[in-house]
Structure 1
Amino acid sequence: MNNAQMSARVGLFFLLGLALIWVTFESLNGNVLDSDKSYELTARFASIKELKAGDEVRMAGVGIGMVKETRLNGRFAEALLQVKSEIEVPENSVATIAMAGLLGSNYVSLTLGSDDAPALSAGAVIRSEDTPDLNTVVSQIGEVGRKVEQALSQFTGAMGAGDSNEGLMGKINAMVDDNRSKLDTITSNLEIVTTRLRDGEGTLGKLLSDDTGYTELIAAIEEIRGAAEEAKTFMASAQGLVADVKSGQGTLGQLIYDGKAGEDIRLTAQNLRELSAKLNNGEGTLGRLINDDSLFIEAQNAVKKVNRAVDGMADQGPITAVGVAANSLF
């Protein structure tokens, strides 16, 4: 190898080294913001997880800054966010730590907030919420898996395993073995019943296979429906009658709600009581006729005298008959 080739190779490697140094420098300074072109916000979390300086700050998925520093502040972990000066972050925005992917790095995600909310000033503390990371999710999934496994173990133990007579399945098998003859009898009876139903025997079989029974059943239902309609009409009429009575219409309504008619009925009842009292006490002609026996006896005597007078007139002439009648009566 001559000196010219050696010099060319050395020069090429030197240029490649300079290019690599420039790319590395640009990569390391790509996330660096000038202090005069950005402002700082503080986000507090219970844990910043794998967040580190240089990670992105995004709002609605768009990069607006970077994480300048992570630190502990008492019972909190703080992330110092460096945001571009032209970006305004509303006061009601919320900061969370999100993952760029299952194997990607974390970044700080900011919500858009509302349009009418004022912007946060430099150095302010932004609202934040803690979200579960991949390790927490995996741990929770593992816990759920353990609980499912325990539940399945308990279920398997309750159902019984293998040929053991313990557990639910063992008890069911034992019960079936003890009642096998009864089960066979029940099965045979069910076969007989289904056969009769299929052949249209019995009341239920006729209902299932005979159209006449179905027609009669529908007719009976229609009659019941008609009776229900008539009952509904009767109830409506009864309600109308009750309404008329309540409004004082008709004789019954006037008797119930008309004060004058009620007073007349009361006076009539009082008069009847007084009349019956007089009759019981023998007052008046009718009372004496009812209670005095002498009037009845006198009436009987008068009737007897009339009978004797009639008998005497039958045997005498006209003039003599008058005299006989006078003598009989007086």
Structure 2
Amino acid sequence: MNNLQQTARVGLFFLLGLALTWVTFETLRGGKIFKDQGYNLIAGFETLKELKDGDEVRMAGVKIGEVEKTRLAGRRAEAILRISHEVKIKSDATASIVSAGLLGTNYIGVDLGTESAPDLPDGAEIKTKTTPDLNSVMSQIGDLGKKLEGALGNLGTALSGDGKGGPGIIQKVDQLVSENRESINKTTTNLQAITDKVNKGEGTLGKLINDPKLHDDLVAALGEIKQGAAEAKTFIANAQAIVDQVKAGKGTIGALVFDQKAGDDIRASIATIRAVSDKISRGEGTLGKLLNDDSILRDAQSIMKKADRALDGLDDTGPISAVGVVYRGLF
């Protein structure tokens, strides 16, 4: 009996060790002893990068499932996602492979999608997008470094020359300065002389800088110019207002320019005046005869002489006699 009990105990401990080993293994793989069956979704990518079975599927940073299996399907790689039945993924949601830090493991990240969109059924394919990983970023940085190195090499060649006798920018500038050193010295001397004159108040610029009165006069002149510009602006605005009124047919000028009836009346008046002038020129009518007939002028002069003689005789006669004298003198 002792051997049988001992054998039973050994077998029991062996089974218990297997159970503990299985529990530990399952716990390390998925974080659960008993998996949530959930439902499956298919995510297709150009490459799964370092994604492997058992990696997490997260939505908004929360674990909602895991990668059940990875496989190669034709010209692309697919990941079979096991999603918890408590989580519903919308049909417009997008899955991408995300790296947990620079040296962390990869996982599938799923966005929330649109709330009004329908849910993806079991076995459906979820939309995916490719995100740059550390390797592609490092490759791009390496390419950028090569381009930068080439650009710096070209800049160095341009500055110092190509090493085959061709001068660079620095050599060209040095040569230019050497060849024109005398001219540069003369120019510098002239500039120094001009600066000295300006500091002494000589010349127009020197007076402008050093003479306070000239400066004040210049400021006053600028003020007058500004005032004149403001007045000119006001005049232009008033003229524009008058032009607008004329265009609108307002006022006398506007009526003359744009009122057809006023224009017709003016033309009719001018025609009437011209006709009267023509009649007067031809001696027609009373005014025409007065201006053109000399006999009427002579008759008027004769009447005036008679009236003058009649008035001379009024002094010696009475009122009644005076009337008779005037009547005889005139007629």
Answer yes or no: same fold by TM over 0.5.
yes
SS across alignment from 1:101: coil
Q: What code does the residue aligned with 2:219 have?
A: I
Deviation of residue 130 (structure 1)?
0.9
Q: What code does the residue aligned with 1:260 have?
A: D
SS across alignment from 2:57: strand
Distance 2:52 2:182 in 1: 77
Residue 149 to residue 64, structure 1, CA distance change in 2 (3 Å): same
- Map of 2:271 onto structure 1: 266
1:195-245 superposed Cα distances (whole Å, 9 cap, x missing partner): 222232221122222221221112111111221232233334434444555
Cα contact 2:201–2:211 (8 A) shared by 1: yes
- Map of 2:131 onto structure 1: 131
- Map of 2:210 onto structure 1: 209
**Pairing of 1:294-305 with structure 2 (within 5 A):** none
TM-score normalised to structure 2 length: 0.71
Deviation of residue 183 (structure 1)?
0.9
Cα contact 2:23–2:33 (8 A) shared by 1: no
Distance 2:175 2:280 in 1: 93
**Pairing of 1:233-248 with structure 2 (within 5 A):** 233-243=234-244, 245-246=246-247, 247=249
- Map of 2:46 onto structure 1: 46
SS across alignment from 2:87: coil
Q: What code does the residue aligned with 1:66 have?
A: E
Deviation of residue 284 (structure 1)?
8.4
- Map of 2:98 onto structure 1: 98
* Structure 1: tracts of 5 or more residues without a match: 1-10, 290-330
Residue 84 to residue 213, structure 1, CA distance change in 2 (3 Å): same
Deviation of residue 102 (structure 1)?
1.9
- Map of 1:8 onto structure 2: none
Cα contact 1:57–1:110 (8 A) shared by 2: yes
Distance 2:96 2:133 in 1: 11
Asked if residue 222 in structure 1 is aligned to residue 227 in structure 2, the reply is no
Asked if residue 249 in structure 1 is aligned to residue 254 in structure 2, the reply is no
- Map of 2:30 onto structure 1: 30
Count of residues in correspondence between the two structures: 273
The answer to which of 56-65 and 108-117 deviates more is 108-117
Task: Percent identity, please.
Answer: 42
Question: Cα RMSD over matched residues?
Answer: 3.4
Deviation of residue 60 (structure 1)?
1.3
TM-score normalised to structure 1 length: 0.71
Deviation of residue 270 (structure 1)?
5.4
Cα contact 1:93–1:110 (8 A) shared by 2: yes
Distance 1:42 1:52 in 2: 14
- Map of 2:182 onto structure 1: 181
Cα contact 1:94–1:111 (8 A) shared by 2: yes
Deviation of residue 109 (structure 1)?
0.8
* Structure 2: tracts of 5 or more residues without a match: 1-9, 295-331
